[in-house]
Amino acid sequence: MERAISFTLNGKPTRVTVDDERMLLWVLRSDLGLTGAKFGCGAALCGACTVIVNKEAVRSCTVPVKDIAGKHLLTIEGLSKDERLHPIQEAFINHNAFQCGFCTPGMIMSAYAFLAKKRQPTRAEIIRYMDDNLCRCGNQNRIVDAIQEAAAAMKGKAA
């Protein structure tokens, strides 16, 4: 059903009038012009489309836009503030934790949600949490290193 849906997008009140069964990923990418979240599988199997809804990481390719009415949505575009990179982004750069970069926004958003819950995770905990985010280029070990470094850098600070 086409209707107006309001939510907060990267800190700004936002309203879209769309078929409310459409998946969030496509509303973000084609109605709102935010192409950071990527299409990889369309079935919540790869994590490339991960965004944050009310502090939880969700696979936006399988979340109908009606489910985010009234909620806070954070995408990769909203992570750095005033051109200042988030510590997770800094850590990804420091460790060259990407190659093609297609999975990277989803990896960073997943890591963001994880670190908000678990401030100082062990390597094993990071691997377990991130295991459903796929990276074909093979940067998993670097991503774990980057998340550990980000966790240390964020110690004592709000996410």
4 touching other proteins, by CB under 8 A: no
Answer for which of 17, 54, 96, 122 binds other proteins (CB under 8 A) is: 96
30 touching other proteins, by CB under 8 A: yes
Answer for which of 5, 9, 23, 154 binds other proteins (CB under 8 A) is: 23
Residue 48 neighbours by CB under 8 Å, 6+ apart = 37, 38, 39, 40, 41, 102, 103, 105, 106, 134
Each residue 55-74 as x (binds other proteins by CB under 8 A) or -, in order, gives --------------------
What is the distance in angstroms between the CA of the first residue and the CA of the last residue of the chain?
A: 36
Concatenating the DSSP letter of every residue in 100-146 gives S-SSHHHHHHHHHHHHHH-SS--HHHHHHHHTTS--TT--HHHHHHH
Point out which residues bind other proteins (CB under 8 A).
Answer: 19, 22-23, 25-26, 29-31, 33-43, 45-46, 48, 75-77, 79-80, 85, 89, 92-93, 96, 98-105, 108, 126-128, 130-144
